[in-house]
Chain A
Amino acid sequence: MQRVDTTQLLKGVLDLAVLAVLKDEDGYGYDILRRLREAGLEEVGDASVYGTLRRLFAAGLLTAYVVPSESGPHRKYYALNAAGRDQLVRSGKTWRSFATTMDALLDDRGMAA
Chain B
Amino acid sequence: MTVTGQEIADYVDRVRAALADLPPAVRDELTEDLPEHLAEVAAETDGTLVDRLGTPEAYAAELRTAAGADGGGQPSPGRRFAATRARIAAALRGLDTRLGPLLGYATASAFLRPLRPAWWLVRGWLAALLVSAALGEPSGLLPRLSGSVLAGLFLLAGTLLASVWLGRHSVDLRGWPRRLLRLGTAALLLFALAALVNVDQHASSDEFAPYQGVSVGNPYDSIEDVFVYDEEGRLVHNARLFDQNGVPIRLGYPTCADSSQYPPRNVYPYCPDRAPFAPRPSAPTPVPPQPTAAPASPAPSASPTPSTEPTVTPTVSSPPGAPEPSDPGPTPTR
Chain A interfacial positions (CB closer than 8 Å to B): 14, 28-30, 45-52, 54-55, 58, 72-76
For residue B274, which residues in chain A have a CB less than 8 angstroms away from its CB? none
For residue A47, which residues in chain B have a CB less than 8 angstroms away from its CB? 53, 59-63, 66
Contact of B39 among A46, A55, A58, A73 (CB under 8 A): A73
Assess whether B37 is in contact with A51, with CB atoms less than 8 Å apart: no
Contact of B32 among A30, A45, A55, A76 (CB under 8 A): A76
Assess whether A54 is in contact with B36, with CB atoms less than 8 Å apart: no
Assess whether B36 is in contact with A73, with CB atoms less than 8 Å apart: yes
Assess whether A52 is in contact with B33, with CB atoms less than 8 Å apart: no
Assess whether A72 is in contact with B39, with CB atoms less than 8 Å apart: yes
Chain B interfacial positions (CB closer than 8 Å to A): 29-30, 32-37, 39-41, 53, 59-69
A51 to B34, CA, bound (A): 11
Query: Could you write out 6 A-B pairs with CB less than 8 Å apart?
Result: A46-B41, A51-B65, A51-B68, A54-B29, A55-B66, A55-B69
Question: Closest approach, in angstroms, between the C-beta of B292 and any C-beta of chain A?
Answer: 108
For residue B36, which residues in chain A have a CB less than 8 angstroms away from its CB? 29-30, 72-75
A29 to B35, CA, bound (A): 11
Question: Closest approach, in angstroms, between the C-beta of A44 and any C-beta of chain B?
Answer: 10
- Known A30-B40, A30-B41, A55-B68; judge A50-B63 contact (CB<8 A): yes
Assess whether A29 is in contact with B33, with CB atoms less than 8 Å apart: yes
Q: Which 7 A-B pairs have the closest CB atoms?
A: A51-B66, A51-B67, A47-B62, A47-B63, A73-B36, A48-B66, A30-B40
Assess whether A52 is in contact with B32, with CB atoms less than 8 Å apart: no
The prevalent SS among residues of B at the interface is helix
A100 to B154, CA, bound (A): 85
Assess whether A45 is in contact with B40, with CB atoms less than 8 Å apart: no
A30 to B42, CA, bound (A): 12
Question: Closest approach, in angstroms, between the C-beta of B204 and any C-beta of chain A?
Answer: 56
- Known A51-B62, A51-B63; judge A46-B37 contact (CB<8 A): yes
For residue B69, which residues in chain A have a CB less than 8 angstroms away from its CB? 51, 54-55
For residue B66, which residues in chain A have a CB less than 8 angstroms away from its CB? 14, 45, 47-52, 54-55
Question: Closest approach, in angstroms, between the C-beta of B3 and any C-beta of chain A?
Answer: 14
Assess whether B33 is in contact with A50, with CB atoms less than 8 Å apart: yes
A74 to B37, CA, bound (A): 11
Assess whether A52 is in contact with B67, with CB atoms less than 8 Å apart: yes
A45 to B61, CA, bound (A): 11
For residue B39, which residues in chain A have a CB less than 8 angstroms away from its CB? 72-73
For residue B53, which residues in chain A have a CB less than 8 angstroms away from its CB? 46-47
For residue B34, which residues in chain A have a CB less than 8 angstroms away from its CB? 50
For residue A72, which residues in chain B have a CB less than 8 angstroms away from its CB? 36, 39-40
- Greatest chain B CB density within 10 A among A30, A49, A72, A76 is at A30
For residue A55, which residues in chain B have a CB less than 8 angstroms away from its CB? 66-69
Known: A50-B37, A73-B36. 8 other contacts (CB 8 A): A46-B41, A48-B65, A48-B66, A50-B33, A54-B66, A54-B67, A55-B69, A58-B67
For residue B61, which residues in chain A have a CB less than 8 angstroms away from its CB? 47
- Known A46-B41, A74-B36; judge A54-B30 contact (CB<8 A): yes
For residue A29, which residues in chain B have a CB less than 8 angstroms away from its CB? 33, 36-37
For residue A54, which residues in chain B have a CB less than 8 angstroms away from its CB? 29-30, 66-67, 69
For residue B29, which residues in chain A have a CB less than 8 angstroms away from its CB? 54, 58
* Closest B residue, CB atoms, query A54: B67
Assess whether A76 is in contact with B63, with CB atoms less than 8 Å apart: no
A47 to B64, CA, bound (A): 8
For residue B35, which residues in chain A have a CB less than 8 angstroms away from its CB? 73
A47 to B67, CA, bound (A): 9
Assess whether A76 is in contact with B67, with CB atoms less than 8 Å apart: no
For residue B65, which residues in chain A have a CB less than 8 angstroms away from its CB? 48, 51
* Closest A residue, CB atoms, query B66: A51
